[in-house]
Amino acid sequence: MFTAVRVLHSPAFAVSLLEAAGLAVAAVVAFPLGPWVEHRAKRPVMVGMNLICFLAMVSVPLAHLLGVLTYGQLLVVSVLSGAASIVFTAASGAYLKHLVDKNHLLVANGRFEGTSWVATAAGPPLGGALIGLLGPVVTVAADALSSLLSALGILRIRGGDVATARDAGTRVRAVDSLGGWRFIVRDGVLRRLYLNSVAVSGLIMATSPLLAVLLLGQYHFPAWQYGLAFGIPSLGGFVGARLSARLGARYGRHRVMIVSGWLRSIFPLGLAFTHPGVPGLLTVIVVEGLLITCMGIFNPISATERLQRTPADRAAQVLTAWSVSSRLAQATLMAVWGVLATLTSPLTAITVSGALLLATPLLLPRRADMPDPADALPVAG
C-alpha cells in the first residue's frame, strides 16, 4: 500500500482497489483449500505458505531494480500473499488446537495475540525508518525476509502433527468447503461471533487504505510519523492480550467480550477528528491505541470460543470459511469506501465507517448462549 502511494502515486480509489482486489481474489483462490488443509499435516502447509509469501513479495524489489514494477504486479503479489495468509491461518489454528489442551487455549491465544501486537508495534516504526532511509521497495524486501524466517521457525517446532484421515480413493471437492460455513451457521454462538467479526473487520479495514492516502498523501506525514501512528498503539494490543485471560477468569469471558466488543466499536469514530500536523498524529495514536487495546482483550476470547466449539476434524474448514468471509467483506467494503472517498473525501469516508461500527456489538452472542463453565481457566503469568 505504501509502495502504491509513494512509488506509483496512486489515488485513493486505486489504493483501495489494490487492497480490495487482492483480498477478494485471494479469498476465491483459498475457498476450496479448507478441506485440502484438513487432510494434510499442518506444519508443511504452514511452511509452504510462508515460502509463497516470500517469493511473491521479493519479486517487488527485483522488479523495481529492473525498472518493470507495475500496479498489476502489486495486485498479483497482493493476491498470492493474501491467499497464502488465509491457508496459513487455517492450518495454524488447527495445529494450535492439536498442540494445546482446551483449558489452556485462552492463555495460548492471549500469548499469540500479544506476540502479534509486539511485532506490529515494532514493524511500523522500523518500517517507517527504513522507508525514510532506503525507500518503500527495499522495505518490502525486508518484509519478505520475515516470511522466510517464519518458515524456518516452524521447521524447528518439535512434536507431532495432525491431519484428518479420509477414505482411500476419495477426492476433495470444492463443495466440501461449504462444510465450514454450515457448521458456523448451525452453532448460535459461532454464528453471532462470525457476523460480528466480519462486520467489524470489514468496516475497520475499509478505512486502512484511506488512512494511508489521508496521512501520507493529503497531510504529508513523513514515513517515520506514519510508522509511529500505528506502531505505538500496537503496544496496547500486547497489554490487552496479556490481560485477556486474567479478566476472563475474574469477570467471566462473556462479560469481558461484551464490554471490550462495545468499546472497540466506539473508539474508531475518533478518527473523524484527525487533522494535519502533531495534533492529528496524536489523535491517530490515541484512537488507535484505545481500539487496539480492546482488540487485544477481545480477540483471544473470541478465538478461544471458536476453537473450543469446533471439532478437531472441522477446524481447518471453519477457519478457512471464517477467513474467506472476512476477506470478501473487507474487499467489498474497501471498494465501496474507495468510491465514497472519491465522491466525498477520505476523512468523510472514515467518519461514516466509525458511525456504522457503533451498531456491530448488537451481533455479539447473548449471555444465555455463552455460559462461562471455564471461568477458572489457567491465568497467564
pLDDT at 313: 83
CA–CA separation, 240 vs 113, rounded Å? 9
CATH no., domain 2-159+177-369: 1.20.1250.20
pLDDT digits (tens, 9 = 90+) for 75-87: 788 888 888 888 9
pLDDT at 46: 93
Report DSSP state, residue 41: -
pLDDT in tens, the chain (381 residues): 544 444 455 555 566 666 666 677 778 777 777 778 888 889 999 999 999 999 998 888 888 788 887 777 877 888 888 888 889 988 998 888 888 888 888 988 898 888 888 776 665 555 555 555 555 566 677 778 888 888 998 988 877 787 776 654 445 454 455 778 899 999 999 999 999 999 999 999 888 888 888 888 788 888 778 778 888 888 899 999 999 999 999 999 999 999 999 999 999 999 999 999 889 899 999 999 999 999 999 999 999 999 999 988 888 889 888 988 888 888 888 888 988 998 999 999 999 999 999 999 999 998 766 665 444 344 444
Handedness of CA 256, 257, 261, 267 (dihedral sign): positive
Buried b (16+ CB within 10 A) or exposed e, 309-333: bbeeebbbbbbbbbbbbbbbbbbeb
Q: Domain-by-domain residue ranges, the chain?
A: 2-159+177-369
